[in-house]
Structure 1
């Protein structure tokens, strides 16, 4: 079970996963070694599943961000889930409740690439597309 100190450590790691244990310790009033022990325990329990780097992709190469909602025409979604995993354009995918079956965040370099991607979706069902104007968070 997580206590308040564990939750504080997780909050700090969410903001910056590169923080040193001693720096975290100063903020939660523990030694760096004690913080390291707590972090290792949370890793072993699967609470912390990994560390990542957030990259501003638009500074590397400009792209369009499309928010795509899928409306499946079949109850067997196994082919579609394989499709999702195989497509590098899909940076996030969620199975959802409510309107639609899946929602995806898709990055493509231009409108033509988006059209090709959307054509590849048609065998699985219908879709709704919204283009992102700006990322807020």
Structure 2
């Protein structure tokens, strides 16, 4: 991977719908060359998929939380099954440190947050962090 590949990744990261023509103009390569570089990065696994940045607030999910959970009674697989089914969970990572997992979820109101936290207590002990603003 060279500087040009890095620039292409940067551009796609900012806007995954950017046209090959626009990318080629910015990196000073032909459109077929840009397409070949992108396809090569897909083939070797650098680019996994194209995605969108959803504005959950505009969809009525006004509360974002990041939750740490320490799993109890060895309920790891049960928790993984549960969390994968939650449509409001943006990401979930298995981590090292005091907690076992950390994830981000979106909610419409505090009542739904409370119900969700109550459900989580089946799997472990939680620590909830309310997101005030996004910096990066």
- In 2, the alpha carbon distance for the partners of 1:98 and 1:71 equals 10
Q: What corresponds to 2:92 in structure 1? A: 93
Q: What corresponds to 1:26 in structure 2? A: 25
- In 2, the alpha carbon distance for the partners of 1:62 and 1:81 equals 23
- In 2, the alpha carbon distance for the partners of 1:45 and 1:35 equals 16
Q: What corresponds to 2:49 in structure 1? A: 50
The secondary structure found in structure 2 opposite 1:36 is helix
Query: Bigger CA drift: 45-54 or 116-125?
Result: 45-54
Deviation at 1:114, TM superposition (A): 0.7
The TM-score normalised by the length of structure 2 is 0.92
Where in structure 1 are there 5+ consecutive unaligned residues?
Answer: none
Deviation at 1:74, TM superposition (A): 3.2
Write 1 or 2 for the structure with the bigger share of helix.
Answer: 1
Q: CA RMSD in A?
A: 1.4
How many residue pairs match? The answer is: 136
Deviation at 1:4, TM superposition (A): 1.9
The secondary structure found in structure 2 opposite 1:94 is strand
TM superposition outliers: structure 1 runs of 4+ over 6 Å = none
